[in-house]
Amino acid sequence: MKKQTQILLGSVLIGFGFLILMSNLLDIDFGAICWPSFLILVGILIIVRPRIAPEGTDVRMLFFGDLRRSGEWDAKDEEIWSFVGDVDLDFTQANFLEDEVTFKLYRFVGDLDIIVPKDIGISISSMGFVTEARLEGKKRGGLVTPVRYTSENFESAAKRIRLEMISFVADLKVIRV
């Protein structure tokens, strides 16, 4: 989720802006074409996406709803797709099946709250139209501003979490304990 994501998001916004402009200038109802096409593409994505995720990655699709993990749970590679919902991940008692786990979150609107022990390294890359992040007490974010954070011990830690998030509106909070 580096420059590719920014280019993709920027291209999508330019494309939508161009369609709206042409719709107004040429008096054509692109909405009659775009919305059904968008719904068809989302349906195809829902059917095909679990098959194209890397092997060993759990894929969860939640239209509405929250995902909460706390207490003892197995931390493993996971991809979470949601329209509206909150994700709470508490890694204080998590069992790591591998040295490094990757969480990918794709959603429209939602909060992400993470509790991470200080001995676990964490790297976060987040992109959204509107993002507010509170990382270890420091606020970051804004409009179409990528948020990147890597803990000082990420490379040397025995256990590592890599988090990649793309959303339209996101609130991200990381607490180190």
pLDDT digits (tens, 9 = 90+) for 11-48: 777 887 887 888 888 887 777 777 787 778 777 766 76
**Closest alpha carbon to 78 in 106, 114, 99, 40:** 106
Position 64 scores a pLDDT of: 77
**Separation in Å, CA 67 to CA 34, 53, 56, 164:** 31, 20, 20, 16
Q: Is the pLDDT at 152 greater than 70, yes or no?
A: yes
Residue 162 CA to residue 125 CA, distance in Å, equals 8
Dump pLDDT digits (tens) for 127-140. 888 888 888 777 87
Q: Find out whether 156 and 163 touch, Cβ atoms under 8 Å.
A: no
At 145 the three-state DSSP class reads coil
pLDDT at 28: 75
